[in-house]
Amino acid sequence: MANKRRTKKRKSKFFKIIEDHINQNIKEYAISVIIFLIGIIIGVMLLNSSSQENQQTISGYINEFTSSIKNQEYTIDQKKLFAKSVVSNLKIAVMIWIAGSTIIGIPLVYGSLAYKAMCIGYSISAIIATMEKSKGIIFSLSSMLLQNIIAIPCILALAVSSIKMHRSIMKQHNKENIKSEIYRHTMFSIIMMIGLFISSLIEIFVSTNITSNIIVNFI
């Protein structure tokens, strides 16, 4: 009983820290979310405005992929895909981390956010355009939802932390304060990178299996 209470207190404290962090940076989070949504819209528009030939190439790739899964002709190399996913997530995390210490840091942070969102919007739009609407939505949810429940908040939090560091560096003239801010941002970034690592694990070892089963049974 005592252990349960301690666990409950720890969870409450953890969620309180998150809540306080969001409340203290609500403006930065709001702007980051808007930038992210704009990125998704741009991704959708990019596919819709691309040439017919390009759309057919993408549709052909998706149809070939689903057919190969159905016919059990495609073997998923989970280790290779996992390494690729981790590298992709780390690239954007490091880019956002570095952006906070540069003169043009904030535009770089927002650019990284928009790029990530654009990739998601483009992928979802391509899947839905290739398949029937209902099947496309099911495919998109199965392949992208679970990992992005973790990845997107981590990337948004990284962006906000990087913006805070950038502003602190621009305002501060005391080297010790700047060092302290860089240390805080670095520790926070490492925690978010762990979250991104977990999202890669979910993407490759959970989402891919769910997607494969859905392709075989429903698509």
Structure confidence by residue, pLDDT tens digits, 34-80: 999 999 999 999 988 888 888 888 888 888 888 888 877 767 778 88
CA–chain centroid gap for 139, Å, is: 18
What average pLDDT does the structure give for the chain? 84
- Give the count of domains, the chain: 1
* Measured distance CA(94)–CA(155) in Å, rounded: 11
In this prediction, residues 10-19 reach a mean pLDDT of: 66
- When pLDDT is cut at 50, 70 and 90, the band that residue 135 belongs to is confident
- Residue 103 falls inside a structural domain: yes
The percentage of the chain sitting over the pLDDT mark of 90, rounded to a whole number, equals 27
What separation in angstroms does the CA of 10 have from each of 3, 4, 7, 150, 180? 11, 10, 5, 20, 26
* pTM (predicted TM-score): 0.84
Distance CA 138, CA 101 (A): 41
When comparing pLDDT for 99 and 12, which is higher?
A: 99
Query: Is residue 13 included in any domain, yes or no?
Result: no
pLDDT at 156: 93
Residue 141 structure tokens: 């949810």
Structure confidence at residue 9 (pLDDT) = 57
Predicted pLDDT of residue 149: 93
pLDDT at 12: 64
Q: Specify if 24 maps to a domain.
A: no
Q: Is residue 53 part of a domain?
A: yes
pLDDT at 24: 83
Write out the residue range of the structural domain in which residue 121 sits: 36-217
Evaluate whether residue 130 is within a structural domain: yes
Q: Kindly state whether residue 94 falls inside one of the protein's structural domains.
A: yes
Q: Give a yes or no: residue 159 inside a domain.
A: yes
pLDDT tens digits for range 160-190? 988 888 887 777 666 677 778 788 888 888 8
| H-helix segments, the chain | 2-24, 26-49, 52-70, 78-99, 105-130, 133-171, 175-202, 208-217
Determine, yes or no, domain membership for 2: no
